[in-house]
Amino acid sequence: MNLNATLDHERDDDILYQEESQAGAFDFDLRRIWGAIYRNRWITLGAIAVCLIISIVYLILATPIYQAGASVKIEEQTSRILKTDESEASVNPIDSERFLQTQLDIIRSRSVALAVARSENLFGNAQFLRSMDAEGELKPSEVLTPRQAEEERILEILQESMTVSLPVDSRIATIGFRSPDPKLAAQLANSFAENYIKTDLQRRYDTSAYARQFITQQLADAKQQLEQSERAALAYSSRERLIDASNGTTTADGESSSPRSLTVSRLVAVNSAYADATAKRTQAEEKWRQAQGDRIMALPEVLSNMAIQDLLQKRAVIEADYQNQRQVRKEDYPSVLQAKAQIAEFDRQIAALAGNIRASIRSQYEEALKQEQAFQSQISGLEQATLGEQQRNVQLSILRRATDTSRSLYDTLLQRFRELNAQAGVQPNNIQLIDRAQIPTDPVSPKPVITILIGLLAGIVSGVAAVFLSEHLNDTVRSGEEVSRRIDLAFLGSVPEVKGEVRDELRDLKSTISEAYSSIRASLLMSSRTGLPRTLAFTSVQAGEGKTTSSFAVVTGLGRVGKRVVAIDCDLRRPALHKAFSVENRQGMSEYLSGQVALEDVLHATDTKNVSVVTCGAIPPNPTELLSGPAFAEMLATLRSQFDVVVVDAPPILGLADAPIIGAHVEGMVLIMESGRNYRGGLRASVARLRKGGGRLVGAVLTKQNLRNLGYTYNQDYEYKYGH
């Protein structure tokens, strides 16, 4: 394909892309919308945060106004507080409404405001004016002095800021006060209610003097009797050496919450310790029996020991080296003998450690048995002491019951005395304070909830607008549909993003990654009329997009279905295929292309059946020159005659000339792209570069695809559920 044909193809693709974009502009797909929002969630959250911050700044800068309210009950007649109180004559029901309105006018009157100002010391108080945002020069007056003018201004502020309301079907009036200071609002609302009530209070004080005097004498006698009972109980307890270990604590039903003596307390503690020791002994005995019966290396303590695990790992490494050497060397070779001796030493150390662990299990069992026997001996002695102490506690219980009776009588008389004192100072009145004003926590102006809701709505709208703008400007390739539409390549499949190591997931043939690569392998088998290309190269636009992992997955998959496959690591700058197959990289492509070794010397077998690999070898200073020589083409022809499929792990395209050179020698190339990483322009330039060099692109594979960014979930499209 020449350059003009490539440009014409790109122009036609641009026209097709614009037409499809316009056709799909009004396609309402909730899943795509969700994917766009999820991809740009930080933009959306940022827009919401900015709008909320603006709302909060407005709330901070605006002067909040707080309102506190106190509730008072207004009755036509006074209520009876004591049985001796007599109700005053009630107001005529016809004048009830007029009476209530009169009370409201009294609350709004100048006299109540003046009483509030005096009780709160507001006259001459500059702090009050600052709190009410009423600072400034007074208006000049020819009649009033400056002090009188200030007092009039304070009274005017009090009357204007005070509100009173009374529902039609209620007798509870609410007295409110508005102020920028919430404490001042609550303080003055309560002051208005209290000063309004004080104007209607007149009553005699001492109406129960005789009753209080009689209760006082009875209270003194009960107090003396209680003291004598407590002293008698304490003396008996000291004489009999009965120490109360409950520390005076009792439960809800009056019983002691812990043992009443040191002996009982010790018995309970030792008994609890004995139960724990028995449990520990049983557990230790069970472990020792298990250690005696099972193989020593099967014990959980042995298997979980870090030192043994470390020795087993080292032994496995030496064992693997020993087996490798046995394949090429004789038994009496020095390095073979050394490896065999190391294996024997590791076996000895492992056996010694395991024996020590089993000995420690036996020691733990014997120690637990001794502790159990010691606690059992202590319990026998404490039981005898407890039985003797319980007999002496009978007389102590009698004395304590007498003390409790005296205390109950004293508490009853004291409570009655307090009630009489409280009733003596109560004066009946037809106005009662129902609820005192509390310090308001939320201002009445501005409205925080409404302001925040407006900011939140504005943030959501602006965030959604920013998301659609970002999606319109973003032309990265994220889905298979975009692969076919934007770069005109066949879409072979996609590999979802996983949190763990991809190669570990590939070992599970039922995992999501394995199923994805199985689908890609099936697409490759049907990529042409003749099926899978005999020579196939995997490349990517940039490094780190998953081409080596894809090569490894496809090669191992073809090997499992019976294909004889060889993988060649032609990434002579950053080789990684030897790590994927876990083979040595001593000599490989570099040595073969430079003529140092034969093809048989660089061809390695792998653990996977039907799969061989040619590693990179030493990193050469001139990879492009080596690949451009005739040795590479001859190598492909030879391997093609020996294997069913030859898979080449090629370097990335951008910035390197290796991939187009390799593409000219293979029958097909697969472009590996990381989802959302490459832009349309760079992808089209890479594809054009490969085609210009003579490469035949079979298709493209998307890797590390985050399905949630596209509005999908794994169990919706990619995950196959195994079961009955």
Phi, psi values for residue 120, rounded to 5°: -100, 5
**What does the mean pLDDT of the chain come to?**
77
Same domain, yes or no: 299 and 161 = no
Question: Has residue 157 got a pLDDT over 80?
Answer: yes
Q: Give domain status of residue 171, yes or no.
A: yes
Does this model's pTM top 0.75?
A: no
Q: Does the residue 281 lie in any domain? A: yes
Q: Which of 54-58, 98-102, 442-446, 716-720 has the lowest mean pLDDT?
A: 716-720
Predicted pLDDT of residue 163? 93
Q: pLDDT of 124-143, one tens digit each?
A: 888 898 888 887 656 666 67
Q: Are strands 535-540 and 162-165 parallel, antiparallel or unpaired?
A: unpaired
Task: Kindly state the average pLDDT of the residues 146-170.
Answer: 89
- Higher-pLDDT residue of 247 and 429 is 429
Is there a single domain that holds both residue 595 and residue 695?
yes
* pLDDT value at 12 more than 60: no
- 488 Rama sector, left if φ>0, alpha if ψ -120 to 50, beta otherwise: left
Q: Are residues 171 and 275 in the same domain?
A: no
Give DSSP secondary structure letters for 429-498: -SEEEEEPPPPPSS-SBS-HHHHHHHHHHHHHHHHHHHHHHHHHH--B--SHHHHHHHS---EEEEEE--
pLDDT band at residue 263 using 50, 70 and 90 as cut-offs: low
* Residue 402 and residue 267 share a domain: yes
Position 16 scores a pLDDT of: 42
| Band (466; pLDDT cuts 50, 70, 90) | confident
Return d(Cα 597, Cα 601) in angstroms, integer: 6
The stretches of 561-704 forming alpha helices (DSSP H) are 577-581, 589-593, 599-602, 623-628, 630-642, 658-663, 680-692
Q: What angle do CA 630, 635, 641 make, to 5 degrees?
A: 130
The average pLDDT across 432-459 equals: 88
Residue 311 contacts by C-beta under 8 Å, 6 or more apart in sequence?
346, 349, 350, 353
Q: What pLDDT shows up at residue 717?
A: 43
Same domain (yes/no): 505, 529: yes
Can you point out the beta strands (E) in 485-602?
491-496, 535-540, 565-569
Would you call 279 helix, strand, or coil by DSSP? helix
Whether residue 183 is predicted with pLDDT greater than 90 in this model: the reply is: yes
> Residue 416 corresponds to which tokens in the numbers above?
């009655």
How do residues 301-343 score in pLDDT, each as one tens digit? 767 778 777 877 888 888 888 788 878 877 878 877 887 788 8
Q: What is the mean pLDDT of residues 607-620?
A: 90
pLDDT at 484: 73
> Within a domain: residue 392?
yes
Can you tell me the mean pLDDT for 418-446? 78
The dihedral over CA atoms of 624, 626, 627, 628, expressed in degrees to the nearest 10, equals 80
| Pair 63, 430: CB distance under 8 Å | no
Q: Is residue 437 part of a domain?
A: no
Higher-scoring residue by pLDDT: 641, 704: 641
**Are 497 and 594 part of one and the same domain?**
yes
Mean pLDDT of 429-436: 85
Span 394-426, pLDDT tens digits: 676 777 788 888 888 888 888 877 777 766 555
Query: Could you tell me if residue 32 is inside a domain?
Result: yes
Of 37-51, 238-252, 443-457, 553-567, give the range with the top mean pLDDT: 553-567
Percent of the chain with pLDDT over 70: 77
Greater confidence, 168 or 284?
168
* Helical H segments across 603-677, by residue range: 623-628, 630-642, 658-663
End residue of a domain, out of 438, 473, 508: 473
Is 564's pLDDT higher than 70? yes
Whether residue 229 lies inside any domain: the answer is no
Percent of the chain with pLDDT over 90: 13
Q: What is the pLDDT of residue 186?
A: 94
Does residue 435 sit within a domain?
no
Q: 158 and 79, same structural domain?
A: yes
Residue that wins the pLDDT comparison between 388 and 102 = 102
For residue 207, being part of any structural domain is answered with no
Grade residue 209 by pLDDT with cuts at 50, 70 and 90: low
Is pLDDT at 478 greater than 60 in this prediction? yes
Q: Which domain holds residue 325?
A: 262-423
Using the 3D structure, point to which of 423, 438, 457 is the last residue of a domain. 423
Q: Which of 45-59, 335-349, 384-398, 707-721: highest mean pLDDT?
A: 45-59
Instruction: Find tokens 């979980």 and name the residue.
Output: 304
How far is Cα 39 from Cα 281, in angstroms, rounded to an integer?
A: 59
Q: For position 714, what pLDDT does the model report?
A: 42
Structural domain count of the chain: 4
Determine whether 559 is exposed, middle or buried from the number of CB atoms within 10 Å of its CB (0-12, 13-18, 19+). Answer: buried
Are 509 and 648 in a shared domain?
Answer: yes
Range from 114-123, 156-165, 237-246, 316-325 carrying the lowest mean pLDDT: 237-246
Domain edge (last residue) among 181, 198, 215: 198
- Report the pLDDT value the prediction gives residue 333, as an integer from 0 to 100: 80
Over residues 342-353, mean pLDDT = 78
pLDDT at position 613, please?
93
Query: How far apart are alpha carbons 671 and 683 in whole angstroms?
Result: 10
Q: Which of 59-73, 152-166, 474-488, 504-518 has the lowest mean pLDDT?
A: 474-488
51 and 77 part of one domain: no
SS (H, E, C) 350-400: HHHHHHHHHHHHHHHHHHHHHHHHHHHHHHHHHHHHHHHHHHHHHHHHHHH
Residues 117 and 189 in one domain: yes
Residue 113's pLDDT band, with cuts at 50, 70 and 90, is very high
Find the mean pLDDT for residues 452-459.
88
Mean pLDDT of 41-61: 86
- Mean pLDDT over 249-264 rounds to 52
Residue 612 pLDDT class (50, 70, 90 cuts): very high
Output the pLDDT for position 18.
47
Residue 470 identity (one-letter amino acid): S
Same-domain check for residues 167 and 268? no
Q: Note whether 564 and 610 are same-domain residues.
A: yes
